[in-house]
Chain A
């Protein structure tokens, strides 16, 4: 999947999990936990929504590397 599609999918998922976050123009460096205030349940839901739209299933071992918006976009682009 190209990065643009991956980014669109990730932003749509963030918009669903955290409706108060303005996803348009969201900085790729924004940290999912600290900046977007996603807790572990939100994070799980985020991965679930991304999996639904892109088919990318994230094993738990890979959670640790997914800290920023950009890291998730790259992950989806790589595996989607």
Chain B
């Protein structure tokens, strides 16, 4: 059955990542932990953009909500990291819901600009309350505050395994979501909103739900990022961090479950490599965006799925 094949593929990827924990050299070990956390963010972005057709330019607001929701709690209120992580997830979801209530009255280009403006306002708010957030300079979270129960997140090995656990949960939930009846409705909304309305679905409700789930993912990623790597700064909530998940998703394949991870992995190493040979790594980002929309708008996995469409890989969720 297609379902089992897809599940096997995703479990295989997770097993491979677990194997890398024992095999990868220290430098890549840290990189992959970071990529897995960012891939959760990209998965969240993909749920809104890839599956529901909501092209947002303001997801940094939701990532930032998780980042600061968790970071400020442990830094100023000495909260437990576990509690902070949960708070971060909820902050992302709640903010996505609130933004969605307003932004989803618009569509297309207007939606992009509205989300961009909200994110910009959020970024500026972080700067404005610099006495708490320390603005661009950011907060360094002390080692003692980064304890997830008995797990020390500043330890490389623990951090990798925690990242993998969160990534695995996010990935499998993502898989379950897109294979669920609601996942089908999300795709229907992307494909033809008017048709879906005439099948009895309220476009606003469906999109709001999808955006909120997307916010929960983004919040989780932001909170985990801050707690694991011990840094919370305004730069991580800037417009670049709205573009980043879009880039990952476009590269890996919008509307595919593994696309965000694949895109994050490739883009991370591409920029990493570019930075080592030249200081023009921004050029790589820009060129990647242009080339992708021009020549491969479906991304890697999307193209594979379309090419093999008639028989072979159409089961790729």
Do these two chains interact?
A: no
Which residues from chain B sit less than 8 Å from chain A, CB to CB? none
Which residues from chain A sit less than 8 Å from chain B, CB to CB? none
